[in-house]
């Protein structure tokens, strides 16, 4: 029996024709070859939640909406996260922000990192996302993968693939090394805290 951590790769956009599926498939291929964690794809298309309209904050009560409850249960089942995020007007997509508003305790004391894309490599979206996640008690990590317009246009217009950018592979490996380390460390700490409280 193995006790590998479970890491969710969350796709933070739902629009038709999204670019996210390209880096997602590339990252999943790298991640699943590692063997030191189990990686689950979490697609927000599978969790079509209305704009947050709950009677209470998720800090105090779980969501009443059925889909939001399933989303919260999924987040709770995971030990760490990679957010694949586009940049929308210097920030994250509305659908990702809305999804984050539905959960709180399920994210607490877990690590996250990012694969972003956009005109500035999606870095402004990541910086905003770090602030949001801090409020959810998520430990955001240093290493992340950023795809700027050079890489995106090469893929979309010139027929290149993610493999044509070897520096992205190197960064992804560092990112996942760091994420698995922190996922193990924080999972052990959460378990120790539960034992102490029992």
pTM for the complete prediction?
0.96
Q: Is the pLDDT of residue 2 over 80?
A: no
Question: CA torsion, points 19, 181, 166, 90, in degrees to nearest 10?
Answer: 40
Closest CA to 23 of 160, 182, 180, 130: 160
Angle of helix 94-101 versus helix 123-135 axis, rounded to 10: 10
How many domains does the chain fold into? 1
The enclosing domain of 74 has a CATH number of: 3.40.50.360
63-72: per-residue pLDDT in tens? 999 999 999 9
Q: Is 54 a domain residue? A: yes
4-48: per-residue pLDDT in tens? 999 999 999 999 999 999 999 999 999 999 999 999 999 999 999
Q: Is 25 a domain residue? A: yes
Q: Is 125 a domain residue? A: yes
How does residue 1 score in pLDDT terms, banded at 50, 70 and 90? Answer: very low
Q: Is 98 a domain residue? A: yes
Q: Is the pLDDT of residue 198 over 90?
A: no
Q: Is 189 a domain residue? A: yes
Q: Is 131 a domain residue? A: yes
Which domain range does residue 136 map to? 6-197
Q: Is the pLDDT of residue 56 over 80?
A: yes
pLDDT of residue 44: 99
147-183: per-residue pLDDT in tens? 999 999 999 999 999 999 999 999 999 999 999 999 9
Q: Is the pLDDT of residue 97 over 50?
A: yes
Rounded to an integer, what distance in angstroms lies between the CA atom of residue 165 and that of residue 127?
A: 24
Q: Is 1 a domain residue? A: no
Q: With contact defined as beta carbons under 8 Å apart, do 113 and 140 qualify?
A: yes
100-121: per-residue pLDDT in tens? 999 999 999 999 999 999 989 9
**117, two tokens:** 């894309």
Angle of helix 166-197 versus helix 21-32 axis, rounded to 10: 70
Q: Is 52 a domain residue? A: yes
């Amino acid at each position: 029996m193995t006790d590998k951590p479970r890491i969710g790769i969350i796709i933070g956009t739902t629009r038709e024709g999204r670019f996210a599926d390209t880096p997602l498939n590339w990252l999943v291929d790298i991640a699943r070859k590692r063997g030191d964690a189990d990686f689950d794809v979490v697609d927000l298309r599978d969790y079509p939640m209305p704009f947050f309209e709950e009677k209470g904050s998720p800090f105090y009560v779980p969501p009443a909406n059925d889909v939001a409850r399933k989303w919260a249960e999924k987040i709770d089942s995971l030990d760490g996260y990679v957010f694949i995020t586009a940049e929308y007007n210097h920030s994250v997509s509305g659908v990702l922000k809305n999804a984050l508003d539905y959960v709180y305790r399920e994210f607490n004391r877990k690590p996250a990192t990012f694969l972003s894309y956009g005109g500035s490599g999606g870095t402004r979206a990541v910086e905003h996302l770090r602030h949001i996640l801090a409020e959810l008690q998520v430990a955001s990590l240093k290493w992340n993968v950023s795809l700027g317009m050079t890489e995106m246009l090469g893929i979309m217009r010139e027929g290149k693939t993610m493999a044509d950018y070897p520096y992205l592979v190197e960064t992804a490996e560092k990112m996942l090394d760091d994420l698995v380390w922190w996922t193990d460390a924080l999972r052990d700490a959460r378990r120790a805290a539960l034992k102490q409280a029992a």
